[in-house]
Amino acid sequence: MGTSRRLLVTSLLLALVAGSCGGDDGGFAGDPLDEPVAVDIVRNVPYITDAEVFQVWGIDDDRTLTMQRFVPDGDGPWPIVVILHGRQHDSDMVAPLAEAIAERGAITYAPDYLYDDPARSFEQIESGLWMGEKTIPDLTCVVAAARADAVSHGGDPDHVVLVGHSFGGMVGATVALVGDDPGIQLGASGTCVVSGASSSPKAFVGLDAVYDWAALAGSRDFEFFAEAEDAHRAVSPLSHVDPASEVSPEFHLLSSDLSIPMQAGGHTFDGFMGTFEAALREAGYAVSTTINPGQSHSAYIQPRAMPEVVDLIIELAYD
């Protein structure tokens, strides 16, 4: 199976797309592909310019934050998937999963994003004081920019699925919950390349993530979190679970019984995915949870190890 790869720096002339999101009543116009197709891969698609770049993994200090774009061969229409990598990683870590999803018929984006603030010391960066200030607004820009960019490649802005692995699952869940909140600035680290496009997905998929980030403040293994407990609580998805509406996204949470997050500091499953699930259900969200026995933390972003992850994302994208 051949894969066409083009490595180039692109400049975006993005249409302003305000497509509807989570509450879409109809299914997708097309069908998932029966056989994998070739994928056109383009790196360095910008979503934020004039950024304050500092100590971020995988991003050169050129003041532009970028994402990789994976477009299946064909005319579409295609649903849109955005995948957020974990902490201390970059978009290349989730690129195999992104390509596998695109092969099945979805335009897929994998951004590099900032989780360090140039105004902070290393100790403050490690404690997490930066997260609420830049990461969440930057990632709302990612979803909006991907939605707008995909339209020129056959993407359907009404069918966007947001996926997050590990730390990316935590911040991704928060992005899915805040959606188009007018109080969230698109692109706090610089200038978002698009305005007017929705940042709300129709569905969110969390892969082996911690959702009660603030709970780690009391953990022996994460004592440095305690000094920034308020900041962690502010960015934690649990702090943003408001009553669901007709356009709220659905949530699908996957985790391993062997996952690093669930074992950290002696915390249990109910202190992480289970707590978040209960809060979502009480607020009226559609939510499902799946425990994958014996799977490693990294297996969720390895399509050969867990092809069922690709199957789920494609199913949701075409729903």
- The answer for residues whose C-beta is within 8 angstroms of residue 34's C-beta and 6 or more apart is none
DSSP state of 221: G
Longest CA–CA span in the chain (Å) reads: 53
User: 136-151 and 167-178 are packed helices; what angle lies between their axes, rounded to 10 degrees?
Assistant: 80
Topology of domain 39-317, CATH: Rossmann fold (3.40.50)
Q: How far apart are CA 199 and CA 209, in angstroms?
A: 21
Tokens standing for residue 33 = 């592909």
The reported pLDDT for the residue numbered 11 is: 30
Q: How far apart are CA 110 and CA 191, in angstroms?
A: 19
- Pick from 26-30, 83-87, 224-228, 231-235 the range whose average pLDDT is largest: 83-87
Cβ pair 207, 166 in contact under 8 A = yes
* Residue boundaries of the structural domains of the chain: 39-317
Least confident range from 15-29, 67-81, 98-112, 302-316: namely: 15-29
- Pick from 54-63, 79-88, 148-157, 255-264 the range whose average pLDDT is largest: 148-157
Q: Please report which confidence band the pLDDT of residue 198 belongs to, taking 50, 70 and 90 as the band edges.
A: very high
Tokens standing for residue 201 = 């997905």
DSSP string, 78-103: EEEEEEE--TT--HHHHHHHHHHHHH
pLDDT at 226 over 50: yes
DSSP state of 159: E
Query: Locate tokens 């062997």: which residue?
Result: 258
Average pLDDT score over the chain: 79
Q: Please report which confidence band the pLDDT of residue 105 belongs to, taking 50, 70 and 90 as the band edges.
A: very high
The reported pLDDT for the residue numbered 7 is: 28
Cβ pair 310, 101 in contact under 8 A = yes
The reported pLDDT for the residue numbered 288 is: 95
- For 234, the 3-state DSSP assignment is helix
The reported pLDDT for the residue numbered 207 is: 95
What's the whole-model pTM score? Answer: 0.84
71-96 confidence digits (pLDDT tens):
999 988 999 999 999 876 789 999 99
